[in-house]
């Protein structure tokens, strides 16, 4: 609604306005089941786990993850999507494509490694920070030379002051 022309939102233009919020974990799992109907999933591909790893994703984001995982599986010569393709598809959605052509020298790689380790160590030591899922020094996207992926283990709508401070500390620790 915030991007629509105000003239469209004047009284009488529409009988109802339906606001669709981003899905919760249960909703994401249901959406993933719909979008994965036409693809073959390996036994280790757990949609419940994938739904838990994708808080904040909208339906289109989830469809993109399934499509990206299917493309990855096909490129790898697989007949089914495994947990690895799903994990890589989420990383692509969050951090962008790997930039293996962006070659860092040894000094730069060491700096990136220390930087990411700073995020990870502080994130793990602070009791209220989101848990670290993965650390990488492979460049991704437009500007990231590495990344530390940390995600909440559940859908959250509020954060306490301690959680905000700990997450800020983990972000600044690089």
State the Cα–Cα distance between residues 51 and 32, nearest whole angstrom. Answer: 8
Instruction: Note if 116 is an active site residue.
Output: yes
**Among 116, 124, 154, 163, the one annotated catalytic:** 116
What are the residue numbers of the active site?
116
């Amino acid at each position: 609604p915030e991007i629509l022309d105000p003239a469209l939102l004047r009284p009488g233009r529409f009988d109802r306005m339906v606001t669709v919020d981003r899905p919760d974990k249960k909703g994401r799992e249901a959406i993933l089941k719909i979008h994965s109907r036409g693809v073959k999933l390996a036994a280790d591909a757990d949609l419940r786990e994938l739904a838990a790893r994708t808080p904040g994703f909208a339906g289109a984001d989830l469809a993109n993850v399934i499509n990206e995982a299917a493309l990855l599986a096909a490129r790898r010569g697989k007949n089914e999507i495994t947990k690895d393709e799903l994990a890589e598809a989420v990383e692509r959605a969050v951090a962008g494509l790997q930039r293996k052509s962006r070659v860092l020298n040894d000094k730069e790689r060491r700096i990136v490694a220390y930087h990411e380790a700073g995020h990870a160590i502080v994130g793990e030591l602070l009791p209220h920070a989101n848990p670290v899922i993965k650390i990488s020094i492979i460049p991704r996207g437009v500007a990231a030379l590495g990344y530390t992926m940390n995600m909440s283990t559940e859908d959250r709508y509020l954060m306490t002051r301690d959680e905000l401070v700990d997450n800020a500390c983990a972000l600044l620790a690089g």
